[in-house]
Amino acid sequence: MKMEEVSMSSLDNSKLEGLAQDILSDLVEDACLGLCFEVHRAVKQGYFFLDDTDQESMRDFEIVDQPGLDVFGQVYNQWKNKECVCPNCSRSIAASRFAPHLEKCLGMGRNSSRIANRRIVTGNNTNNKSESDQEDNDDVNDNDWSYGAEKKAKKRKSDKVLLIFFAEILQV
């Protein structure tokens, strides 16, 4: 009779459970043996105790578990409330806001050029009214390329519309 033809249906549940436990037992024993061989080889090849140092050094580098300290024993929120003086504008800035402030102040960050552009545009808008008579100020009227100016102009228009609308409603 071939092995494969043997029917398993006569193995009841308790026997199956027993079999499962035996298989687990074999696997655990295998793991233990594997460990023994690994350790034995490490001992004979001389690298088993390599990661040990003397007791004193072990104590020096033990993990620190105290409030307010990180695992190395260093204080990690020491600079939370300190203030720094900006070398550019000489203002006193909080430490956590210092880096973003420097970015804007020195004109070097990702957004600082955009903010600068917007300022130029709004500067142009206010200049427009006072310098419209001067012919030599060509770039003042050049609003085709500055998207920001159109946005501000449209915004003001829609604000006016809303104000009129609300005013009419309130009058009722």
Among 31, 85, 94, 99, binds other proteins (CB under 8 A): 31
* CB of 9 or CB of 66, closer to other proteins: 9
Alpha carbon of 66 to those of 58, 76, 78, 166: distances in Å?
A: 18, 12, 15, 61
How many of the other CB atoms lie within 10 Å of CB of 149? 19
Q: Which stretch binds other proteins (CB under 8 A): 6-14, 112-120, 127-135, 140-148?
A: 6-14
Shortest reach from residue 4's CB to other proteins, in Å: 7
Among 37, 61, 79, 165, binds other proteins (CB under 8 A): 37
Tokens of 98: 């210092």
Report if residue 49 touches other proteins, rule: CB under 8 A: yes
Which residues bind to other proteins, rule: CB under 8 A? 3-4, 6, 8-11, 15-17, 19-25, 27-37, 39-40, 43, 48-49
